Amino acid sequence: MKRNGIICLIMIACTLLTGGDGLSQKQDTVYVQTVGSILGSDLSGMSRYSGVVESSKTQRISRDGTKKISEIRVKEGDMVKKGDVLFTYDKTSLQISVDTANLEVEASSNKISSYQTQIKQLQQEKKSAPKSEQLSYSLQIQEAQLNLSEEQYNLKIKQKELSRLKEDLSHVNVVAEVDGLVQSVQNEDSVSDEGMGSDAFITILETKVQQIRGTVSEMEVASLNEGDTVTVHSRLDDDKTWKGTISKISNENTSDNLEQENNGGEENTSGSSASRYSFYVTLNASDGLMIGQHVYIEPGEPSDSSAIWLYEDYIVKDGNKAYVWIADRKNILHKQEVTLGRHNDENNTEEIVSGLKLEDYIAYPSDSLQEGQKAALSDSSDTDAIESGSGQFTEIPEDDSEEIPIEENPVDAVPAEGEDA
C-alpha cells in the first residue's frame, strides 16, 4: 500500500512536470529519484516474518501414586542437566515389598517341591497296591499333578512381580532426560492414588534451541510450504544468519503477542484484522541463539545484501530486453538497459543483476518520456506541493570526479625546441 501510494505520487508529479498550461518552462523536465530512495529500507525485495526461538522438546514426568515420595530435589525455575535426580521414592516401603515378594516366591517353591514329592510317593505305592486300590491312587496322583501345575503357574507370576519390585527398588531416583529449565512442580496431593494425575508431576523445558516459531498472515500463508528452506536473521546483526527448514504450518489462528512484521521488520498495519498462523522452522544449527530471542525469517537462501530488487513498475520490457529511464550526470534522460534475475511475486519486484546502482536517478515510466529530456530532483518533501506542481526543482548533483579535458592537438602542446617550457 505504501509503495503504491509513492508510485501514484510520482506519476502525478511526472504529469505535472511534463505538460500542462502554466508549466511551459518545465514541460521538458522529468522528475527523478535515486533507486535507494525509492526502495527505502526494503532493498532485498524479499518477504520477512517475525519469529521467536523456542524449544520443541518438553519432558513431562508423572509419578506413581501407589508409591510414597521421600524427597523432591528440584523446584520451579531450577536449571537441571540430563541425569540429575528430580525426586526419589521411599526406599523403605519398596524394600518391604521386595522382601514380602521374596517370601512368597520361596513359599511357592516349597509347595512345588512338596507336590513333586507327593506324586513320586503315590506312584511308588500304586505299584504294590492291590487292584481294588489302583483307581484311588490314580485319582490322588491326578489331583497332586493339578495342584503342582497350578502352583508352578503362581510361581511364575510371583517371580515376575519380584523382578518388577527389584527394578523399582533400583530406580528409586527419577532423573531428568534433558538439559533444561524446571517449568513446574506439582503438589504431591494433586496425583491420584490410582497412579497419574491430570497433569505431569514435573515439567522440564529443554534449553537447547530446537526450533523457531514464526507467524504469517492469511494473505501470505499460501506462499509457505512444509520443507521450504528459510534463512533466519538476527535482529541485532542482519548479516548473522542461520539456515533451517519449515517443518510445520499450523492451520489454527494464533492470537499471541508476537510482533507481526514483514519486509525488513516494518509492522504490517494494513492487515491488522487478518488472521495469523504459526509456522515452525527446524534449524540446521543453532549456535548463538537463545530461547526467547526474537528473529526475522526470510524464505529461501540468504539474500545478497548488494542485490537490488526494483519494483517491476519502473522496468520497461521490450521483447527479451529490459530497461529503465535513467538520468545521466548531465541531467539528461535516456534508456538504460538492465539485466534481470529472479522475480518476487509477493512484492512484485525484479532482481537487477546489472545495469543499475542504488545511487542512480531513475524516472517512473510513461508514454510521454523521451530520450534527451531534462531531469531534475524535487527540493520539497511536501506531498501536497508535489501533487500541485509547486515544488522547487534542482539539478541532479554531478559526480565528484572531474573529467579530464582532451586536447584537440596534443602535439602542439609540446614546447618547441628553444622555447621555454
Give the domain CATH number at 320: 2.40.420.20
Q: Compute CA distances 121 → 111, 302, 336, whole Å.
A: 15, 89, 116
Please tell me whether residues 39 and 53 are part of one structural domain: no
Q: What's the confidence (pLDDT) of residue 418?
A: 46
Is residue 336 located within the same domain as residue 373?
Answer: yes
What CATH code is carried by the domain that includes residue 238? 2.40.30.170
Q: Are residues 167 and 104 part of one domain?
A: yes
For position 142, which CATH number holds?
1.10.287
Please give the torsion angle defined by the CA atoms of residues 249, 252, 257 and 259, in that order, rounded to the nearest 10 degrees: 40
Q: Is residue 64 part of a domain?
A: no
SS3 143: helix
In-domain check, residue 81: no
Q: In this structure, are 281 and 317 located in the same domain? A: no
Expressed in angstroms, the distance from the first to the final Cα of the chain is 67
pLDDT at res. 406: 33
Backbone dihedral angles phi then psi of residue 319, each to the nearest 5 degrees: 70, -125
In the chain, the number of structural domains is 3
Give yes or no: residues 220 and 251 share one domain: yes
Residue written as grid cell 523456542: 54
Does 244 map to a domain?
yes
**Is 78 a member of any domain?**
no
CA atoms of 395 and 294, how far apart (whole Å): 44
Coil/strand/helix, residue 219: coil
pLDDT number for residue 193 = 42
Structure-block grid coordinates of residue 106: 520361596
Residues 295 and 212 placed together within one structural domain of the fold = yes
Would you state the pLDDT for residue 123? 92
Closest by CA to 261, choosing from 250, 272, 253, is 272
Rounded to 5 degrees, φ, ψ at 419 are -90, 150
Q: What is the pLDDT of residue 37?
A: 79
Q: Which of 375, 360, 381 is nearest to 31 (CA)?
A: 375
Set of cell numbers at residue 50? 517475525
Residue 83 lies inside a defined structural domain of this protein: no
Which range of residues forms the domain containing residue 335?
A: 2-43+313-394
Count of other CB atoms within 10 angstroms of residue 371: 9
Q: What letter would DSSP give residue 140?
A: H
**What is the rounded CA–CA span in Å between residue 228 and residue 46?**
15
pLDDT 10s per residue in the chain (421 long)? 445 555 555 555 555 444 444 444 444 688 898 888 787 645 555 677 889 998 767 888 888 887 888 889 999 999 999 999 999 988 888 888 899 999 999 999 999 999 999 999 999 999 999 999 999 999 999 999 999 999 999 999 999 999 988 888 888 889 998 888 898 898 876 554 444 444 689 999 887 777 899 998 888 888 899 999 999 988 888 778 899 999 999 988 875 545 444 444 444 444 446 788 999 999 888 888 888 889 989 888 765 556 788 899 999 999 999 999 999 988 899 999 999 988 877 678 888 989 998 889 999 999 889 999 998 875 434 334 333 333 444 555 555 444 334 333 333 333 444 444 4
Domain-located, residue 406:
no
pLDDT of 167 reads 85
Question: Looking up cell 507370576, which residue turns up?
Answer: 157
CA-based R_g, the chain, Å: 42
- Together in a domain, 320 and 292: no
Torsion of CA 159, 164, 165, 170, to 10 degrees: 130
pLDDT value of position 309: 84
| Shared domain check, 270 and 253 | yes
Do the domain assignments include residue 253? yes
354 by Cβ neighbours in 10 Å (0-12 / 13-18 / 19+) ranks as exposed
Predicted local distance difference test score (pLDDT) of residue 266: 41
Q: For residues 296 and 336, is the Cβ–Cβ distance under 8 A? A: no
> Are 284 and 212 contained in the same domain?
yes
**243: in domain:** yes
Q: Single out the residue in 171, 198, 224 at which a domain terminates.
A: 171
